[in-house]
Amino acid sequence: MGRGQVSPPSTFDINRERMIEEQLIARGINDQKILDAMRLVPRHLFVEDAMQAHAYGDFPLPIGSGQTISQPYIVALMTMALHLNGSEKVLEIGTGSGYHAAIISRLCSKVFTVERIDGLVGRARKVFDRLRYHNIVSRIDDGTVGWPAEAPFDGILVTAGGPRIPEPLLTQLADPGRLVMPVGNQDAQELQVVEKRDGVITVQTIEQVRFVDLIGAYGWPN
């Protein structure tokens, strides 16, 4: 390619743009910064090679160890509920593939992400390094106890479903701050958006969802 020329779009690029149009914009995701982040982040790099052709489909995908990467629309919806403006410190519980952390990292100042399964964290870190997403730090731990040393967090994103919002996360949420989490039983949950403002906590439900289990001290027992 000569100077000033750009490479032709790949099948992944075409599928990603279709995902933006048909799964996000068509369903009312209208935050331009979120759409741009989802245009930028190569979702196919976060799934196993055998799954890459399906990476931009309108469904969750297996990522190994019995876990899943969320459907693109749910990633966008949860991200929108955090109301990020670029300056925030965000805590994510459930790194999984690393895809959602990657999206958030383009929209805030720093992401702290916690995952309980060792092998998943290692793989996600490799992708963050490859993409040079240097504002994401990760650790292996039970995320239901939060990350006390780095609290408070302006935003907290829980990407696994639990019976209730873990108390330590509410404590570690900044004021003002927003937390998004699927809450319910192990078959179905509602996506709850918690807002802390002037010491007052309000909870709103935005969608019916189905996530893998949040397992830990303040989640489901192992």
Write out the catalytic residue numbers: 70
What is the x/- site pattern for ligand SAH, positions 56-85, by CB under 6 A?
A: -------x---xxxx---------------
User: Per CB under 6 A, does 105 bind ligand SAH?
Assistant: no
Per-residue HEC secondary structure of the chain comes to: CCCCCCCCCCHHHHHHHHHHHHHHHHHCCCCHHHHHHHHHCCHHHHCCHHHHHHCCCCCCEEEECCEEECCHHHHHHHHHHCCCCCCCEEEEECCCCCHHHHHHHCCCCEEEEEECCHHHHHHHHHHHHHHCCCCEEEEECCHHHCCHHHCCEEEEEECCEECCCCHHHHHHEEEEEEEEEEEECCCCEEEEEEEEECCEEEEEEEEEECCCECECCCCECC
Q: Which is nearer to ligand SAH, 8 or 161 (CB)?
A: 161
Q: Which is nearer to ligand SAH, 43 or 89 (CB)?
A: 43
* Cα 39 versus chain centre, distance: 15
User: Per CB under 6 A, does 155 bind ligand SAH?
Assistant: no
- CB of 179 within 8 A of CB of 112? no
Helical packing angle, 32-40 and 11-19, nearest 10°: 160
Q: Which is nearer to ligand SAH, 48 or 175 (CB)?
A: 48
CA–CA separation, 76 vs 171, rounded Å? 25
Binds ligand SAH by CB under 6 A, chosen from 24, 29, 156, 160: 160
Q: Which is nearer to ligand SAH, 64 or 152 (CB)?
A: 64
User: Per CB under 6 A, does 172 bind ligand SAH?
Assistant: no
* Count of residues of this chain found to bind ligand SAH when the rule CB under 6 A is applied: 26
Binds ligand SAH by CB under 6 A, chosen from 79, 159, 172, 189: 159
Min dist. Cβ of residue 209 to ligand SAH (A): 12
Q: Which is nearer to ligand SAH, 8 or 79 (CB)?
A: 79
By beta-carbon distance, which residue lies closest to ligand SAH? 96
Min dist. Cβ of residue 76 to ligand SAH (A): 12
Min dist. Cβ of residue 94 to ligand SAH (A): 3
CA–CA separation, 27 vs 21, rounded Å? 9
Please give the residues from 124 up to 153 whose contact with ligand SAH meets the rule CB under 6 A.
142-144
> Which stretches of the chain bind ligand SAH, using CB under 6 A?
63, 67-70, 93-94, 96-97, 99-100, 114-117, 120, 142-144, 159-160, 212, 214-216, 219
